[in-house]
């Protein structure tokens, strides 16, 4: 499955400033593994020492958080859009 991955500004420093990437993968895990494979510097920022997705990042497939669809095992369809949504705090 070819899917798009939207990268927020906060993480673009690790993806050569690219905002949108295309990866192959049948599950969210496969796509995020492909992301880390292509851009290894991003790994410690997205995953903790145990390989768990860090709590300040949410992954959405379409408009739905993967927390409610099986987490990293969430199945993908061709043309799906994944979005990484990190906590940002600026306001001043």
Decide if residue 14 touches other proteins (CB under 8 A): yes
Distance CA 9, CA 79 (A): 22
Decide if residue 18 touches other proteins (CB under 8 A): no
Decide if residue 4 touches other proteins (CB under 8 A): no
22, 4 Cβ separation under 8 angstroms:
yes
Give 56-70 as a DSSP string: TEEEEETTEEGGGTT
Decide if residue 10 touches other proteins (CB under 8 A): yes
Note the residues at the interface with other proteins (CB under 8 A). 8-10, 13-14, 19, 40-42, 44-45, 54-58, 60, 63-65, 67-68, 83, 85-92
């Amino acid at each position: 499955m070819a899917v798009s991955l939207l990268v927020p500004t906060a993480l673009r420093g690790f993806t050569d400033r690219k905002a949108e990437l295309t990866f192959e993968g049948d599950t969210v895990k496969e796509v995020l593994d492909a992301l880390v494979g292509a851009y290894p510097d991003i790994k410690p920022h997205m995953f903790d020492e145990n390989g768990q997705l860090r709590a300040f990042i949410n992954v959405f497939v379409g408009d739905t958080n993967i927390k409610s669809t099986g987490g990293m095992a969430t199945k993908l369809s061709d043309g799906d859009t994944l979005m990484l949504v990190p906590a940002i705090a600026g306001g001043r």
